[in-house]
Structure formats: C-alpha cells, structure tokens
Amino acid sequence: MAQVLEFKLPDLGEGLTEAEIVRWLVEVGDVVAIDQPVVEVETAKAMVEVPCPYGGVVTARFGEEGSELPVGAPLLTVAVGATDASSAAPVDDGAAAEEPSGGSGSGSGSGNVLVGYGTGAPAARRRRIRPERNTASAAPAAPAAPAVVSAPSRPAPVAVGEVNGRQGPVAVVSPLVRRLARQHEIDLRGLTGSGPDGLILRADVDSAIRQVGQATEAATRTAAEPVVAEASTAVASPSAAGAAAPATAERIPLRGVRGAVADKLSRSRSEIPDATCWVDADATELMAARAAMNAASGPSGGPKVSVLALLARICTAALARYPELNSTVDTAAREIVRLPGVHLGFAAQTERGLVVPVVRDAHTRNAESIGAEIARLTELARTGKLSPAQLTGGTFTLNNYGVFGVDGSTPIINHPEAAMLGVGRIMPKPWVHQGELAVRQVVQLSLTFDHRVCDGGTAGGFLRYVADCVEQPAVLLRTL
C-alpha cells in the first residue's frame, strides 16, 4: 500500500522565514524522482528550485503561484510506493494529507535536501498518471469522481496561442517577466519567445497582454451597444456624477527583495548612529592607469580591468590601514568585533531590485581577480541566479551610484557592517592642477560610517587615503 508523505518548505538558510511560489514544476498526478525540483520559489535573496526528498506520485499541492508560504508549511504530498493511479488518487490543492509524515526517515527519501541542487541522481522524466476511462470493473458513477477531484481549484490562466504539448521549463530568465505574465494570467508555455534561443522577453508578454485586452474590449463593446443611450443619460445626471467613486491609491505589498531591503535599511537607520564625510578627487591619473592596463598586450596583457575593480582594490588597501571600519558591533555583548578578512559587497541594480553580491576574501585578491569575480557575480545577479550565500556575509560595501549619472549621495550602511564607500560619476570639471586651471576627470567620494566603531579622524583618514590613491595610483605600489 502506498504511503502518503508530506513535504514541507525547507529552511532555505540565511535567516529566511518565507518564500513566494513563482512556478510549480509538477502537477497533481505526476511521478517525481528523489531530489527532483518540484517548485520554483523566490525568497528575499534569490530565486531557487526546491527539490523533493521523496520519490512517488504527487497527490496534492499546497499554495497558488504568487502566494507566500512560511518555512515549515506543507508544499505537497507524495504517495510513495504507488504503482498506479488507484493507489494514489489525486486530491485538490490545499487538501489534507492522508497520513502525516512528520519528515521521518524513509528509504524513499533522500534525507539531504539541497536548495536548487540534487544528490546527483538524474531527474526522472515526468509523466501524468491518468485514471482509465473505460474499465469493465468500474461502477457506473466512478468515472465522474476523477473529473471532479482533478479539477483545478483556481481559474486557469489565459493561454495565448497553442501550447503544442510543450513540457518542462519555460524559456524565461527574468523574474519580472514571470510576474507580469502571472498578474495578467498569461500562459508562458503558449508564447514563442523573440529572444536568443526562443527566450521569452517582456515585449512578448506585453504583446500577449495587448491581444487579450483587444479581444476583451471588442467583446465588451459589442455587449454594451444596446445600453449606450441609458448610460449617457445616467452620466449626464448631476446625482450620478456626484456618486462617481473617487480614485483609490495603489497598494504594493512590501515583500520579496523590496521587503528585505526595507527591513534591512530600517534596521540600519534605527540601530546605527551613522555619519557621512565626502571629498572630491582628481581621477585623471587613475583613468590613465586603467587605460594603460587595458592596452597592454602579450605576457603583461590580460582581461580588461574596470574602474569598480580598481576602486575595490583601493578599498582593501585602505581597510588594511584602518581596520576599525572592517568591523561590526555586537549590541548584546556591547563589543566591537574587528573582522579578520575583507568580504567586499558591491551594490547592483537588477530587475528584482537592489542586491549586494559579496566578493569573498577580497583582501587576498588583486584588481584583476576582483574584477573577474565582480563580473561573474553581476551576471548571476542579472539572471536572478545568485544564491543566498553569495548575498550575505559582507564586511564592507562599495556603492557605485555614479552609473545613474549622479555626483553624490549619503548611502545607508548595509547592516550589520560599519561603513560604506559611495562613488559618484567621473566627469570633466575645472580643477587647479599644478598651480594652473585645467579640465580634469573629477569624482566625488563619500564615506558613511558607524560612529560607534570610530571617530571622525579615522573615517577622514580612510577617505583621504582612498582619494590619494585615486589621484596618484602609484601610492598603491607600497602595498603590492
């Protein structure tokens, strides 16, 4: 006899307590293998596929796409040991499991659930188990039961075009595209992507939304024609005009990345007594040094070095001189904790919102190595594939808001760190150079720091050292 086991949303780590269901990868009645991904969820830090530790037939799913579930809430139930449809009859979404499992060890479970990964066993090809329609031994009323039980509990999404039997993952990278399609009930499996390798872009979803909107508008116009005269009279009436409902404000839930950012920034403002100092620096020599590095060929050549990579290397050198800023405050113990290594975070704007990937052990890397790691993490951030571990554990943050075309800012510290360096745009400005007025490449640098870990003299010394390295990159040769 099949045993029905309940799979709960696992602890995704890094202090996350809930996740939003983005897309179900299995249906009720599908056969799943051990550690096969069954649902794609979005947390405050990343989008991951959750594998199921049991192998068998899916009998129930809990939660609609777009809903949030807390850690420990049931995700789905699996009939382990089922060999046919009669041994694992599908039930409605949200139905209770036939027997509680409690996560006990079983020979059919992996016992080692890794978010976004499996144990190495290849995922079995999913197939739908459907009840036989023409069974000699079935009672006359039996065929009606599967139809009622297997009916979806939510309205089916509007499909644009034919699905053509396409199964498996949909060719969509952007979480924004998925959310847009979900909000307008567009079935992504029915769309043909216009991007590379059939990738579905936002333009494809927008086009599908317009098609559905035009069809709905045409149907509404046809139905409304007989009552045009009545509607015109009612609108012209003063009482009807006065009764018109006022426009309402849009309410957007603070959840996902936006909610995590709101919580972290609010905590930073409430806990950290921060202060900001800034200075303008002549970056002409730094830009010239970068151009020389990238122009080198032969044995001395290599990958292109970005301005952000050079600034990151300057930060690690400055933190070696001023370790007070590479620390955190233990409020419970009332202690300042100076950290032994520099894990450098950098702010990156993505379609999901602002994220801060972390370059591990940045103090052991040169500019080329830091630049390569920044490029790798930026690509993962762009595609929404950063893991929670790659977004946490930073000790100091570099924020290049100059990419938005602004000169200065007073950044909020990335709690529980102690400081953040902000970098404005580098642009030509009049500057006194060697006693004469000249046009130079000027940048504004700002340092926001936790006043509990140091005083203004330390913060000013750090910022001045960074500015000196920007103006005279040869200063860095002392630490290389």
Calpha distance 149→79 (Å, rounded): 16
Taking alpha carbons only, the member of 293, 279, 265 closest to residue 356 is 265
Distance of CA 443 to the CA centre of its chain: 31
User: Which of 184, 343, 415, 451 does the annotation list as catalytic?
Assistant: 451
Q: 409, 436, 439: which is closest to 421 by C-alpha?
A: 409
**Measured between alpha carbons, how far is 169 from 158 in angstroms, rounded to an integer?**
18
How many CB atoms are closer than 10 A to CB 243?
9
CA distances from 274 to 127, 414, 452 (A): 57, 11, 8
Look-up: residue for tokens 């060719």? 171
Nearest to 126 by CA among 50, 47, 28, 22: 28
Strand partners, 58: 78
Residue that is written with structure tokens 């990156």 in the block: 348
Q: What type of residue sits at position 20?
A: E
Q: Give the other-Cβ count within 10 Å of 436's Cβ.
A: 7
Q: Would you give the distance in Å from CA 237 to the centre of its chain?
A: 51
Q: Is 415 a catalytic residue?
A: no
Q: Are 52 and 38 in contact (CB under 8 A)?
A: yes
- Under DSSP, the state recorded for 393 is -
**Cis peptide upstream of residue 131 (ω within 30 degrees of 0):** no
- Contact predicate 93/153, CB 8 Å: yes
Euclidean distance between the first and the last CA atom of the chain, given in angstroms as a whole number: 69
For 334: left if phi > 0, alpha if psi spans -120 to 50, otherwise beta; the answer is: left
Q: Helix 456-471 and helix 307-321: axis angle, to 10°? A: 140
Sequence length of the chain is 480
What is the DSSP secondary-structure string of 50-113? EEESB-EEEEEE-S-TT-EEETTSEEEEEEET--SGGGS----TTPPPSS--TT---TTB-S--
**In sequence order, what are the residues at sequence separation of 6 or more whose Cβ sits closer than 8 angstroms to the Cβ of residue 258?**
252, 353
For tokens 């001045």, the residue is 464
Residues marked as catalytic: 451
